[in-house]
Amino acid sequence: MIDFLMSFEVQSLIKLILGFILAGIIGSERESLNKPAGFKTHSLIGICSVLVMLCGEYISMNTNADISRIPAQLLSGIGFLGAGTILRDGLNVTGLTTAASLLAVTCIGLCIGAGFYLGGIVATFIVYIILSHSHKWFSTQVTTPEEQEKIKIDEQD
């Protein structure tokens, strides 16, 4: 029974499910704020990151290939996806946090895929806390046009 639970197939299943759950936690926070990359995007990237790591592991079991080559390419590829979420409108730049959260779930997925469960779980909770609570720590930002107009009126007085 222990051999069955430690088999590559069962471990892969556990890793994929855990990658989905952890990336889904981050994605649900982004979804709750109506960000362009929400639950589905983050969950898919998390699962794919685990899958890429498992693919590297599987290939290295059957050949003497370097296990890190495929995951390394994923990190450069995720940069293109993240860049697509960053928009500039004059002096305003949006999408940086979304791009960073996509990179975070990629790394969390790679951790889970590699079997580094503690790192992936702890990182998930840290990223979630940062995304869901940091706006409360730095609440001096003006976010709405109405608030900006009020500040302009107050400055004129």
Q: Buried b vs exposed e over 13-26: b needs ≥16 C-beta within 10 Å?
A: eebbebbbebbbbb
Residue 155 is predicted with a pLDDT of 46
Does residue 157 surpass a pLDDT of 50?
A: no
Calculate mean pLDDT across residues 97-102. Answer: 88
Determine the Cα angle at 92 with ends 89 and 93, to 5°.
Answer: 90
State the DSSP code for 130: H
Residue 68 is predicted with a pLDDT of 81
Q: Which residue has the higher pLDDT, 115 or 156?
A: 115
Residue 57 is predicted with a pLDDT of 87
* Domain chopping of the chain, boundaries: 2-156
Mean pLDDT of the chain: 83
CB atoms within 10 A of CB 105: 32
Residue 16 is predicted with a pLDDT of 93
Segment 26-54, tens digit of pLDDT: 999 988 988 878 898 899 899 989 988 88
Segment 58-94, tens digit of pLDDT: 888 888 888 888 888 888 888 887 888 888 777 787 8
Q: Which residue has the higher pLDDT, 80 or 100?
A: 100
